[in-house]
Amino acid sequence: MSLRRVNGSDVARPPGSLPIRVGTLADLPQALGRLARLVAIADRLDPRTVGRLAAEHARALLILADVVGRRDTIRGTTAPALLGAATELRAHAASLADVRAATWAWRSSSPDDERPARQQREIRRQLGRDRARLRGALTDADLRVVIASLRPALRLAPAVRHAVARHVQAGTWQGPRHAGTRRPQSPDVLVAAQTASESAARMTAWLPKPPPQPAWHHRSAPEALDAQRMRREQRTRAPVVATVGSAPAHVQLAR
């Protein structure tokens, strides 16, 4: 359990607000989603940290774009084709590179939340370990993991836009100033972050939606086991009998 200091006291962070380990490529979708969440909930982020996160994420997107673009090289795959997705991903990566450039002239004296950077390192290391594999002969499983990673990957840009806007408006980031005046320049960093967020929103709108998760998917392990045990006991005590025109209760719940 991680702790943080609040008003001089140690307060436990909830599990969903901590970085997760990435041990295989299959962990990539969850890790990318967690990265976006950590950026969104971070207490304080240095502008250079945000820029580095955007740049590293842009590099990850280029790897995903290459895999998606080679979908037709996988014999017999039934994964969605996603025509034009590779081009859109590369364009979105370029918009994140603009965020990196725009944050360069900004400063902050506030302490930095290290959680997003730790999560980004986990993602970078795993993609580094799988780099040769993803550049070589792809498998259907590799492609499906990458496709499942697209939606979570596109959540980072809106999280970055939220973080940039919050820090600039709160005055915790100090930007460049006009020569001879105390008035800050037009916040190009806000424009860059907004452009990247809009790019992500456009692409997310036409990506295939993931299959629905069971109700216990987001519960902790003990809660999930308790829920499964209760369902087994209920089926044992009162079996469900299907009638004409209806489906068993467990089938309806899975929809």
Q: How far apart are CA 251 and CA 255, in angstroms?
A: 7
In a domain, 213, yes or no: no
Q: What predicted TM-score, i.e. pTM, was given to this entire model?
A: 0.76
In a domain, 47, yes or no: yes
Q: Torsion angle of alpha carbons 125, 126, 129, 133, nearest 10°?
A: -150
In a domain, 212, yes or no: no
- Do 99 and 130 belong to one domain? yes
8-state DSSP, 155: T
In a domain, 120, yes or no: yes
- Do 141 and 235 belong to one domain? no
Q: How far apart are CA 151 and CA 165, in angstroms?
A: 22
- Do 70 and 41 belong to one domain? yes
Give the number of other CB atoms < 10 A from CB of residue 31. 21
- Do 64 and 172 belong to one domain? yes
- Do 248 and 187 belong to one domain? no
The residue assigned the tokens 């370029």 is 94
- Do 133 and 166 belong to one domain? yes
- Do 88 and 175 belong to one domain? yes
Q: How far apart are CA 52 and CA 3, in angstroms?
A: 25
In a domain, 227, yes or no: yes
Q: Where are the alpha helices (DSSP H) in 130-220?
A: 131-135, 140-154, 156-170, 188-206
In a domain, 111, yes or no: yes
- Do 239 and 134 belong to one domain? no
- Do 242 and 150 belong to one domain? no
| Cα-based angle 135, 140, 144 (whole degrees, multiple of 5) | 90
- Do 110 and 232 belong to one domain? no
- Do 131 and 237 belong to one domain? no
Q: How far apart are CA 204 and CA 12, in angstroms?
A: 34
Count Cβ atoms within 10 A of the Cβ of residue 73 and give its class: 0-12 exposed, 13-18 middle, 19 or more buried. exposed
Residue 127 CA neighbour count, 13 Å, CB half: 25
Q: How many domains does the chain have?
A: 2
Q: What is the pLDDT along the chain (255 residues), one digit of tens a residue?
A: 454 554 444 446 676 789 999 999 999 999 999 999 999 999 899 999 999 999 999 999 999 999 999 998 998 888 888 989 999 999 999 999 999 999 998 999 888 999 999 999 999 999 999 988 899 899 999 999 999 999 999 999 999 999 999 999 999 998 876 444 454 555 899 999 999 999 999 999 989 877 665 554 555 454 455 555 555 555 554 443 333 343 333 333 333
Q: How far apart are CA 170 and CA 182, in angstroms?
A: 17
Picking from 246, 217, 252, 249, the residue whose alpha carbon sits closest to that of residue 231 is 249
- Do 112 and 233 belong to one domain? no
Domain that holds residue 244: 221-254
Picking from 49, 56, 7, the residue whose alpha carbon sits closest to that of residue 173 is 49
